[in-house]
């Protein structure tokens, strides 16, 4: 299981994606979710935090900084899939084609060669 910590509204929270959480994510969002959609990101955080008081609605209302939350979710999911060994080149290539990566490239003016 992948573990990462996030701080929302001054509270340090464990972010962990179990197989059950990963299956729920796949069912709800398919294999290419857009983590820069606030409602999608809030649902991911809700599933990863797994504390009843931390609902997607509460997270959305608090509006924590988006980019650190996206990064934490991505790292926790990567750890859930690959553990401490990280990604091999093939998985890294596949993951780099996700929407979030494209958004970051546009945001920071990076080209495909970077």
As a whole number of angstroms, the distance between CA 31 and CA 10 comes to 32
Which residues, other chains included, contact 98 with Cβ-Cβ below 8 Å and sequence gap of 6+? 32
User: Quick check: 2 and 73 in contact, CB under 8 A?
Assistant: no
Strands (E), 1-114: 2-8, 11-17
What is the model's pTM?
0.73
Q: 84 pLDDT band (50/70/90 cuts)?
A: confident
Q: How many CA atoms lie within 13 Å of 46's alpha carbon, on the beta-carbon side?
A: 19
**49-61 pLDDT per residue, tens:** 999 999 999 999 9
pLDDT number for residue 93: 54
- Of 40-44, 53-57, 83-87, 102-106, minimum mean pLDDT range: 102-106
């Amino acid at each position: 299981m992948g573990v990462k910590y996030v701080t929302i509204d001054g509270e340090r929270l464990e972010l962990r994606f179990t197989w059950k959480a990963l299956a729920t994510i796949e069912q709800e969002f398919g294999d290419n979710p857009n983590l820069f959609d606030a409602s999608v990101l809030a649902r991911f955080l809700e599933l990863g935090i797994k504390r009843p008081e931390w609902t997607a609605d509460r997270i959305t209302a608090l509006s924590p900084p988006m980019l650190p939350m996206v990064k934490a979710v991505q790292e926790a999911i990567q750890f859930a899939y690959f553990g401490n060994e990280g990604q091999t080149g093939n998985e890294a290539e596949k993951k780099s084609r996700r929407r979030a990566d494209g958004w970051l490239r546009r945001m920071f003016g990076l080209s495909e060669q970077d």
